[in-house]
Amino acid sequence: MKPTDGRRRVVIEDVSPQIDAGRHPVCRIVGDSVSVGAAIFADGKDELTARLLYRHASDKHWRFTAMLSAGNDLWNGSFVVDKLGLWNFTILGWVDHFATWANDMKKRLAAQSRPELVDGIGAASRNATTGPDVESNAATQDIVLALRTGAAMVDQAAARAQGKDAKRMKSIAREMERLAKEPRDFYDDPLSEESLLLMARYPDLTHATRFEPELPVRVERMRARFSSWYELFPRSASSIPGQHGMLNDVERQLPEIAAMGFDVVYLPPIHPIGRAFRKGPNNSTIATPDAPGSPWAIGDKAAVACPPLGAEVAGDCGGHKSIHPQLGTFTDFDCLVNSAQSQGVEIALDIAFQCSPDHPWVTEHPEWFVIRPDGSIQFAENPPKKYQDIYPLNFESRDWRGLWDELYSVFEFWIERGVRVFRVDNPHTKALPFWEWCLSALKSKYPDVIFLAEAFTRPHVMYGLAKRGFTQSYTYFTWRNTKAELESYLEEITRPPISEFFQPNLWPNTPDILHRTLQEGGRPAFMHRVILAATLSSSYGIYGPAYELAENSPAEPTYGRSESEEYLHSEKYEIRQRDRNAPGSLVPLITALNKIRNANQALQSNESLCFHEIENPQLICYSKSTPVFENTILVVVNLDSFNEQIGWTNLDLDKLGLAANESFQVEDLLSGAIYTWRDRKNYVALRPGVQPAHIFRVIRLQ
């Protein structure tokens, strides 16, 4: 089958950036310049012209900008995404006959003075004599014909133009024809800058090739890329010993948390906690009556006098659209959100789509669960282990549409109460097509919403979730502790193709993960791990105050394991009240880190992350910089929690914007010290617990 128009000679291939042939949008931040590349070529030697078309979802028409040839059939162009939401781009390429003609004309004009260049075969065979007269005659004959060809092209282009341009172009065409009629020995260049510009303005696109499909770009706000997260349990936030904390206790802590420099305060689920099968301390299956239970076991409709102070939200009691009565009311919640906003902080909620047995959905929509042959609802299982406090949702439900709509409405419920950041629990246990639809629909309606995936799962699934709309993702960072592990992993997740859709958020601890490095290394380890997290990635988080206080006692290992990554007396099952400013607290260090992050733009993205050699395997060295090195940060971290480590760097000077042999200064933003360094090899010595790292600002001296 022939194509509709076989005259479209231009081929457009290898268009970037794209994911899976346009199946998923690449991710950018508002204000970014999106660099587009492609291979654009055709048969023969004609000049090509290419145009980058782009538009926001709300634009009626395409905007366009010229692409430039970079040689070897590669072309580049770019456009600025100045608005949140979904954009599309594509490429138009065509044979530019006028540009070809203009190039050829230049060569013909040049040949007038060098007639030997003209291969006058025709003349030679028709006429035994050769000589300058005949040859220069051939050169000028070419020009006459070329002028006529050119005039015809300009006329055609004039028909595509309007108004003054059309008039001007017609007169240019007439002038060229006139020139062609006057016999001359020598022609000047008939092409002015003006005529070239006019012709470029009205190209003949009749046989232009358009790349398909249109490629999507999802544009989000700066916080999607650059964010500093602080997790705390509201129920532990009371200053009164033994008292169940409430949302207004969190509100009281906001100034302190904001002063530390965090911009996202993330709360584990604030919904009612199921009564059935509540866990006791240290995940015990035996729970005392006053055990607070796990916030991730969402339920408890019947056990709550509903509502405590009158119906705040009509008909809404228990479940994902409720607040645990011991945490407070919706009024308290609104105050918290507003107070946070006024202090430049956002509240992030934890959305965990699972239900304890007393969740409202169990009675209202049993079809959203798996029903066993005896009529009971299937609880979570990893046979023979049972998790009877959790009923997983059934994404193969006949009423999958109703289920999807309800889950969507949970997000929308909190969005409309002012929440714009969500941390999603175990997204890899909910169907990926659901997330693809839900996150895309939410982002279309609320383009400033951010979703963090707690996707501790296999790489393909983790990346699959990121492609499907999760703005940020937890990573394997907690299990990457050695230099080799860190370098390899961070290179993978900060470079294309992964970086086109995956924004890492590095957590040195979570309520579920107390890594052996921290268990064994104590406070010094907590220091270097948070320095790594805060400088390797533009987004990071800590679970506090456990982190500031360097709590590192693990629970007993569970059956079949020799070690545990669980916290002893985990706050998941108990209230744990602490003073984050206790002696030895890492609050000052963390405050300094956030200050450095906020003051140094290089640390606010990951694309420039580059590792430098340093000849001690316990020392890791890396840098980030802004595009023309206005701000360059160089970090050296001692990964040893116990011993001082020394070593010599072998810096990749190009990546620091420095020249060979150049002297420069490095200002340690943690200690304030300034050193003069030179060239690639410079000495460092770092002591755990005292000075575990340098965070240098590079200062050029010339």
Choice between 177 and 332, CB closer to its own copies: 177
Provide the minimum distance between the beta carbon of 314 and its own copies in the complex, in angstroms, as a whole number: 28
Counting contacts by CB under 8 A, is residue 459 touching its own copies? yes
Residue 275 or 420 having the CB closest to its own copies: 275
Helix (H) or strand (E) holding 673: none
Tokens of 365: 């929509």
640 is catalytic: no
User: Residues in contact with its own copies, total (CB under 8 A)?
Assistant: 79
564 binding its own copies? (CB under 8 A): no
- Closest to its own copies by CB, 286 or 305: 286
Contact letters for its own copies, residues 152-191 (x by CB under 8 A): x---------------------------------------
At closest approach, how far in Å is the CB of 10 from its own copies?
9
CB of 45 to its own copies, least distance (A): 7
Does position 288 bind its own copies by CB under 8 A? no
We find the least distance from the C-beta atom of residue 23 to its own copies, in angstroms, to be: 8
If you write DSSP's letter for every residue of 207-269 in order, what string do you get? Answer: T-EE-SS-EEEEEE-GGGTSEEEEE--GGG--SSTTPPP-HHHHHHHHHHHHHHT-SEEEES-
Binding its own copies (rule: CB under 8 A), the pick from 288, 382, 661, 702 is: 382
Which of 689, 685, 629, 631 is closest to 659 using CA atoms? 629
Member of 404, 507, 573, 664 binding its own copies (CB under 8 A): 404
CB of 558 to its own copies, least distance (A): 10
Q: Which is nearer to its own copies, 399 or 579 (CB)?
A: 399
Q: Cβ closer to its own copies: 89 or 664?
A: 89
Give yes or no for residue 355 binding its own copies (CB under 8 A).
no
Give the amino acid at 11.
Answer: V
660 interacts with its own copies by CB under 8 A: no
Q: Stretches 302-310, 399-407, 414-422, 580-588: which one binds its own copies (CB under 8 A)?
A: 399-407
**Quick one: which of 278, 273, 277 has its CA closest to 303?**
273
340 binds its own copies (CB under 8 A): no
Q: 132-160 vs 163-181: helix axis angle to the nearest 10?
A: 160
DSSP, res 37: E
**Distance (Å, rounded) from C-alpha 250 to C-alpha 63?**
47
Identity of the residue, 203 or 245, whose beta carbon is nearer to its own copies in the bound complex: 203
Contact 450, 471 (CB under 8 A): yes
Give yes or no for residue 8 binding its own copies (CB under 8 A): yes
CA–CA gap between residue 207 and residue 172 (Å, rounded):
25
Is residue 655 a contact partner of residue 610, using CB atoms and an 8 Å limit? yes
Which structure tokens are listed for 660? 């060979």
Q: Which of 102, 110, 105, 107 is nearest to 47 (CA)?
A: 102
Contacting its own copies within 11-40 (CB under 8 A)? 11, 13, 20-21, 39
**Residue 622 in contact with its own copies, rule: CB under 8 A:** no
Q: Binding string, 205-244, against its own copies, x = CB under 8 A? A: --x-------------------------------------
Question: Which is closer to its own copies, CB of 140 or CB of 625?
Answer: 140
Question: Looking at this protein, which amino acid is placed at residue 186?
Answer: F
Q: Is 374 in the site for its own copies (CB under 8 A)?
A: yes
Residues whose CB falls within 8 Å of the CB of residue 431, separated by 6 or more in sequence, listed in order: 395
- Residues 90 to 149: which contact its own copies by CB under 8 A? 95, 104, 107-108, 110-111, 116-122, 124-125, 139, 142, 145, 148-149
The verdict on 7 binding its own copies (CB under 8 A) reads yes
- The C-alpha atoms of residue 378 and residue 382 are separated, in whole angstroms, by 12
Binding span for its own copies by CB under 8 A among 53-61, 256-264, 452-460, 516-524: 452-460
Q: Which stretch in 43-51, 223-231, 258-266, 473-481 sits in contact with its own copies by CB under 8 A?
A: 43-51
CB atoms within 10 A of CB 310: 6
Q: Is 396 in the site for its own copies (CB under 8 A)?
A: yes
- Report residue 320 as tokens: 């994902």
Report the C-alpha gap between 698 and 678 in whole angstroms. 11
Burial 331-357 (b: 16+ CB within 10 A, else e): ebbeebbebbeeeebbbbbbbbbbbbb
Annotation marks residue 133 as catalytic: no
Q: Does 277 bind its own copies (CB under 8 A)?
A: yes
Q: 545: cis peptide before it, omega within 30°?
A: yes
If binding is defined by CB under 8 A, does position 1 make contact with its own copies? yes
What order do you get walking across the sheet with 645-650 strand by strand?
674-678, 663-668, 693-700, 632-638, 619-625, 610-614, 645-650, 683-686
**Which span sits near its own copies by CB under 8 A: 260-268, 453-461, 603-611, 629-637?**
453-461
Query: What 3 state SS string does 95-142 have?
Result: ECHHHHHHHHHHHHHHHCCCHHHCCCHHHHHHCCCCCHHHHHHHHHHH
Taking CA 357 as the corner, what is the angle to CA 544 and CA 298, rounded to the nearest 5 degrees? 25
For residues 261 and 591, is the Cβ–Cβ distance under 8 A?
yes
Question: Which segment (229-237, 458-466, 589-597, 686-694) binds its own copies by CB under 8 A?
Answer: 458-466
Is residue 433 involved in binding its own copies (CB under 8 A)? Answer: yes
Catalytic pick from 231, 389, 406, 454? 454
Nearer to its own copies, 137 or 626 (CB): 137
| Residue number with CB closer to its own copies (125 or 553) | 125
412 is a site residue for its own copies (CB under 8 A):
no
Instruction: Pick one of 395, 446, 476, 648: the residue that binds its own copies (CB under 8 A).
Output: 395
Helix (H, G, I), strand (E, B) or coil at 63: strand
Q: Rule CB under 8 A: say whether 434 interacts with its own copies.
A: yes
Kindly tell me which of 201 and 398 has the beta carbon lying closer to its own copies: 398
* Length in residues, the chain: 702
Which residue in this structure is represented by tokens 């006459």? 144
Closest CA to 138 of 154, 126, 150: 126
Name every residue whose Cβ is closer than 8 Å to that of residue 660 and which is 6 or more positions away in sequence: 653, 679, 680
Residue 425 sits in the site that holds its own copies (CB under 8 A) = no
- Least Å from the CB of residue 503 to its own copies: 20
Toward its own copies, which CB reaches closer, 206 or 643? 206
Q: Annotated catalytic residue: which of 425, 548, 565, 571?
A: 425
In the complex, minimum distance from the CB of residue 296 to its own copies, in angstroms, rounded to a whole number: 16
For 237, the token pair is 């936030």
Part of the chain binding its own copies (CB under 8 A), chosen from 288-296, 379-387, 568-576, 579-587: 379-387
Q: Using CB under 8 A, which residues numbered 460 to 519 contact its own copies?
A: 460-461, 464
- Closest to its own copies by CB, 148 vs 687, is 148
Query: Is the distance from CB of 147 to CB of 180 less than 8 angstroms?
Result: yes
Catalytic residues: 425, 454
